[in-house]
Amino acid sequence: MAILLFADHDNGTLSEQTAKALTAALQIGPEVDILIAGKGAAPAAEAAAQLTGVRSVLLAESDALEHRLAEASAALIVGLAAGYDTVLAPATTTGKNVLPRVAALLDVMQISEITEVVSADTFKRPIYAGNAIEVVQSTEAKKVLTVRTAGFAAAAAGAAAAPIKAVEAGTEGAELSSFLENMLSSSDRPELSSAKIIVSGGRALGSEEKFREVINPVADKLGAAVGASRAAVDAGYAPNDFQVGQTGKVVAPDLYVACGISGAIQHLAGMKDSKIIVAINTDEDAPIFQVADYGLVGDLFDVLPELERQL
């Protein structure tokens, strides 16, 4: 019953999503190996080896794997798959890119974005933007899964380190694609997917400048990450990686503050499992109030500066 967890990392650091996916993996079975595919990725491998419950860490390094592009990564995983019954990854953009390719090469159906492990072969996953939950069983010889990490606590780092084994990186698939550049948003704020508090802005913000002027000071006071609706991202008020929703990031912080966001199904899909939801909206009938624990009917351009002052 061995399980292979394809890790999310950036060579230098292991993402917290990997630790969360490990929790899901350990609910499926006890023998979990973490695969670090990368280049200069020893730091990520060492961090993975520290996680409690890991049997061993496999480290595969090559130029082609440096950015974990799908073709080379999938070929690597398929080459290792014989030793495993289950292959899984956190449902990050890397996991979502690579694992379906692995599943098809293994001729099995993937189960995407599981939110609960019912048993080693049965899982819950949201469908229709989270408006229904499917309980689905796989009788495939191998199970390929991605894990929606918002619902799983991160496995802790323990005292003893698991062994790190180098594995052959291979060259298959490398000729199909190459990395050009990353244009990543840089910020000192916490990451959206692991933040305890998120302040999100919608179309009502009106411009990039106002988004920054009004949302950021409140987020900074709260030590919060900043999120956005699709409308705000489409309009260029916030970068794409801020988008929360069915087709953006799925988050479940302790506190989610939705400012000038109407509460479309697609947005709710990304945040309705937050512990506490606050909605600030001029329209008292906005659907966002149906999921809000605390609703404040008012103009966000008055409310947010006031909130910042009182914090």
Partner 1 sequence: MKVLVPVKRVVDYNVKIRVKADGTGVDLANVKMSMNPFDEIAVEEAIRLKEAGKADEVIVVSIGPAQAQDVLRTALAMGADRAILITTECPVEPLTVAKLLKAVAAQEEPGLVILGKQAIDDDSNQTGQMLAALLGWSQGTFASALELGEGRAKVTREVDGGLQAIEIALPAIVTADLRLNEPRYASLPNIMKAKKKPLDQKSAEDFGVSTAPRLKVLRVEEPAARAAGVKVGSVGELLDKLKTEAGVI
Ligand X SMILES: Cc1cc2nc3c(=O)[nH]c(=O)nc-3n(C[C@H](O)[C@H](O)[C@H](O)COP(=O)(O)OP(=O)(O)OC[C@H]3O[C@@H](n4cnc5c(N)ncnc54)[C@H](O)[C@@H]3O)c2cc1C
Binding residue numbers for FAD: 203, 229-230, 243-247, 260-267, 281
Kindly tell me which residue out of 229, 238, 242, 292 binds ligand X, with binding defined by CB under 6 A.
Answer: 229
- Of the pair 169, 288, the CB lying nearest ligand X is at 288
Angle between the N-to-C axes of helices 93-105 and 70-80, in degrees from 0 to 180, rounded to the nearest 10: 50
Q: Closest distance between ligand X and the C-beta of residue 28, in Å?
A: 28
Residue 283 contacts partner 1 per CB under 8 A: no
Query: From CA 100, how far away is CA 70, in angstroms rounded?
Result: 10
**Contact status: 86 vs partner 1 (CB under 8 A):** no
* Residue 159 or 182 with smaller CB distance to partner 1: 182
> Cα(288)–Cα(152) distance, rounded to whole angstroms?
25
170 to 60, 88, 284, 306: CA distances (angstroms):
9, 20, 58, 58
Q: Which is nearer to ligand X, 130 or 202 (CB)?
A: 202
Phi, psi angle pair for 54, to nearest 5°: -75, 135
Considering CB distances under 5 to 8 angstroms, the limit depending on partner class, which of ligand X, partner 1, none binds residue 249? Answer: partner 1
User: Does position 239 bind partner 1 by CB under 8 A?
Assistant: yes
Q: Which of 202, 242, 274, 307 binds ligand X (CB under 6 A)?
A: 202
Tell whether residue 73 is a contact of partner 1 (CB under 8 A). Answer: no
Q: How far apart are CA 45 and CA 24, in angstroms?
A: 19
Alpha carbons 140 and 87: distance in angstroms, whole number: 12
Instruction: Give the nearer residue to partner 1 in terms of CB position, either 20 or 230.
Output: 230
Distances (CA, A) of 187 to 5, 86, 106, 184, 191: 28, 36, 39, 10, 9
Q: Is 170 in the site for partner 1 (CB under 8 A)?
A: no
Binding residues for ligand X, rule: CB under 6 A, are: 202-204, 229-232, 243-248, 260-262, 264, 266-267, 270, 280-283, 286, 299-301
